[in-house]
Chains A and B, each alone.
Chain A
Amino acid sequence: MDKTITNSIGRLLPETIEGYGKVAPFAGAFATVPEMKRQAPLVKRMLPDGTKRMQNLEEVFRLIPVSDGMTLSFHHHLRNGDGVVNMVMETASRLGLKNLTVALSSVFPVHEPLVEHMKNGVVTGFDSNYMSGPVAQAISRGVLAKPAILRTHGGRARAIECGQLKIDVAFIAAPAADEYGNLNGVSGPAACGSLGYAFPDAEYADHVVAITDHLEPYPLSPISIPQTRVDYVVTVECIGDPKGIVSGTTRITRDPVGLKIAENTARVIQAAGLIQEGFSFQTGAGGATLAAAHFVRKMMEEKGVVGSFALGGITGYMVDMLEKGLFRKLIDVQGFDLEAVRSLAANPNHLEVGAGFYASPFNNGCAVNQLDAVVLGATEIDTDFNVNVVTGSDGMIMGGSGGHSDAAAGAKVTIVVANLLRGRLPIIMDRVLTATTPGETVDVLVTERGVAVNPRRGDLKERFTAAGLNVKEVQELKDLAERLAGIPEPITTEDKIVAVVEYRDGTVIDVVRQFQVQP
């Protein structure tokens, strides 16, 4: 039996995980104090007559040269329309490369070909912040010998900046580029808006390769990623399918239960005293979270207050609030729809920032620290308010922190919204299957049948009760759900660790064990 340790939220972990190394146990959201210098990439030069234009990827692979065991990084702004990861990895496979580590900020169903590369040893290491689709399922089923590493968006930036995720070659999918390597995401057929998640990769990788299908005359503007960091520019037919990149419009949910949760969420924000001049806010793009923005907006309009900024993944709804004067700025790491792309290109108050600026815990201050309120989702939450957004009810990986843990740690008031029952399954458990965001950073749970406040926030509980909100203990809500649905039988997993869940500071908050077919 391997030696084990327990981290500060009671998760039992091996001291050392094969293929990962020594485990630094999570010890509290702000317990780790950094003591290191930043990573320094290779210093390059470019002679006046030099050129960066390359005919194809193979040429770039030979020039660098890409060799066995390297770490190749990618960003996910082209989301489920991305063509770049597959074309680069197909090249690597064709050239007979082995033992590569792919560091891709988020994985989507379109990345299914990676599974084949994993099976035949081209890819043996995987590093990401969010996984969905066939790759997530294959990793859950144990396709890799080494565990994958699951980080937060801020944690990935930190790991790159601090040298724990050392990138040999960063491949940047560039919707627009010039020949000398200036890049942006706001024009071209695959326009996706912000390129923020690629900023750390471009800044710290030893080699940076831009891949584009839209070349503009030098100099390109605006410049999101500058020529000073880009070694090669490869032009290809098509970097991605616009249909999978951005949605036409992001719509508010019409589900009445979701709307009820959203309305209660807005009342929570109001009762916390946050709807005032300078209010800052982050919310997701789906379900009840975006609908919460709609109710918050009504309150802001009624009170006549102007917010300072909205942060995170940006939707057309947030753009509309900026344009109507309800927020002074948008701070954007990723656009979700065409409106967000248009606004980033045209509006000087719509700011494009990198993942480190957005959420890294180890710099002189990231944007999430300036948040008044954030509204986040959950797959499961436990009575200590720890949240799981990594594994589904069957134990299969179906997500990841993304910015969840980062925003939760930074915001003054962190609100998790969820239906008390999802299908028949109660959302509240004694112990979530995979802890992703620690309970100490979650202040309020809003469900359709009541609001639970983290005992650490007695101040909020008083305010909510005074405002007439339906405040309940989290245990009461759990009991209520179980009265309706019955107590679920726990699911089981295999022993093998298939993913290590790192908190934003690089400590291990939990591990994911191999998926087991349920009897």
Chain B
Amino acid sequence: MELRRSLLFIPGNNPAMLQNGGVFEADAVILDLEDAVAPQEKDAARLLVAEALKTVDYGASEKVVRINPLDTFAAEDIITIVPCCPDALLVPKVECAEDITRVAQMVARAEQPGQKPVKLIALLETPRGIAEAYAVAKADPRLVALALGAEDYTASLGAKRTKEGTEIFNARAAVLNSAAAAGIQAIDTPFTDANDPEGLVADTLLAKKLGFKGKLSINPRQISEIHRMFNPTAEEIDWAYRVISAIRRAEAEGSGVASLDGKMVDAPIVNRAERTLYLARILGLAKEGE
């Protein structure tokens, strides 16, 4: 399971930003050909992003490109971008399963022999997209995550976007549940006020609590805070160790049932503990010798 705590948008027609995109240590960079690029610069941005993919070192960050929607420049974007080996494409304004299948087919045609298959992430940002979330989630094996774009979504609803996010509760729930049902990740909408670090912390903690595995971001300054929020806490890691040792103890004693603090330890709890320890290990937060 890939680590996608943070996915940082980088404007696709800005050479300075493209060249420095890797220094913020986001789990993924999203080189953006859509909203960040004016219509008359789409051609230039596409070439710039293609060259950046070939030459710029993005370090450990997954290389994602947000292409334009299917009804505008998606086809041109895919033909130019896919052979430059991005790790994934973020497909905007996805409204139904067929949108993903079509993109998947175009990607397959554009891939070069021997190229690592390009993954897809669907950005759901319309009421219809939210309604179709589960169908989208299982539309194609290339799809690894559903992401929520709440700004456009709330505009369509006619609801006011607030920091508490009451108006997107339903959309978040739909994205989370559909992604979980299809066995893929759910990625939360960006927190757009770059000058409100407390608001970012609260919003990210809520996302984590709900079950999101990561968050989109439009500002490099948010990355370290987003990571801090998604990283397992010391208490969570400690709890996970205790769950695993309870299981081992039960196995050693030949008992089929393990318990911890007077509660039964069943499969979902073990899964959660294992994921916590996995994250702790790859993030270097695990205890010595474990």
CA distance A122 to B95 in the complex (A): 79
Looking at B16-24, B106-114, B117-125, B180-188, the stretch in contact with chain A turns out to be: B16-24
> Is B23 a contact partner of A449 (Cβ separation < 8 A)?
yes
Residue of A nearest to B197 (CB): A298
Bitwise, A444-482 to B at CB < 8 A (1) or not (0) is 000011000000000000000000100000000000100
Chain A, residue nearest B222 (CB):
A256
Residues of chain A lying within 8 A (CB to CB) of residue B56: 484
Chain A, Cβ-Cβ closest to B283 = A468
Closest to B55 in A: A484
Q: Is A259 an interface residue (CB 8 A)?
A: yes
Query: When the two chains form their complex, are residues A256 and B220 in contact, meaning their CB atoms are under 8 A apart?
Result: yes
Contact among A256, A257, A483 for B219, CB-based, below 8 A? A256
* B interface residues, how many (CB within 8 angstroms): 12
List of B residues within 8 angstroms of A263 by Cβ: 224
Complex contact B19–A260 (CB within 8 A): no
B57 proximal to A (CB < 8 A) = yes
For A257, list chain B residues within 8 Å (CB): 20, 23
- The interface residues of chain B lying within 8 Å CB-to-CB of A484 are 19, 56-57
- Mask: chain B, 3-43; 1 = CB below 8 Å from A; 0 = not: 00000000000000001101110000000000000000000
Q: Count the A residues whose beta carbon is within 8 Å of the partner chain — how many?
A: 12
Q: Would A260 and B284 be within 8 Å (CB), given that A484-B19, A484-B57 are in contact? A: no
B229 to chain A, nearest CB (A): 16
**A256 in contact with B57 (CB, 8 Å):** no
State A468–B224 Cα separation when bound (angstroms). 14
- B221 contacts chain A at the CB level, 8 A cutoff: yes
Contact A260 B23 (CB under 8 A): yes
- What residues of B have a CB within 8 angstroms of the CB of A260 in the complex? 23-24, 220
Whether the Cβ atoms of A448 and B284 lie closer than 8 Å is no
* B199 smallest CB distance to A (angstroms): 17
Residues of A contacting B224 with CB < 8 Å? Answer: 263
Q: Residues of B contacting A256 with CB < 8 Å?
A: 20, 24, 219-221
- CB-nearest residue of chain B to A298: B197
Complex Cα distance A396/B220, Å?
Answer: 35
Query: Distance (Å) between the CB of B139 and the closest chain A CB?
Result: 35
Report the minimal beta-carbon distance from A340 to chain B, rounded to whole angstroms: 25
Q: How far is the CA of A448 from the CA of B16 in the complex (A)?
A: 13
What residues of chain A lie closer than 8 Å to B22, measured between beta carbons? 449
Query: Inside 8 A of B221's CB, which chain A residues have their CB?
Result: 256, 259
CB nearest neighbor in A for B285 = A468
User: Which residues of chain B from 215 to 269 have a CB within 8 Å of any chain A CB?
Assistant: 219-221, 224
Alpha-carbon separation in the docked complex, A444 to B90 (Å): 39
- Interchain CA distance A480-B57 in the complex, whole Å: 9
Q: A256-B221, A468-B284, A480-B57 are in contact. List 14 more A-B contacts (CB 8 A).
A: A256-B20, A256-B24, A256-B219, A257-B23, A259-B221, A260-B23, A260-B24, A263-B224, A421-B19, A449-B22, A449-B23, A483-B57, A484-B19, A484-B57
A interface residues (Cβ-Cβ under 8 A, vs B): 256-257, 259-260, 263, 421, 448-449, 468, 480, 483-484
**Nearest 3 CB-CB pairings of A with B:** A256-B220, A448-B23, A257-B20
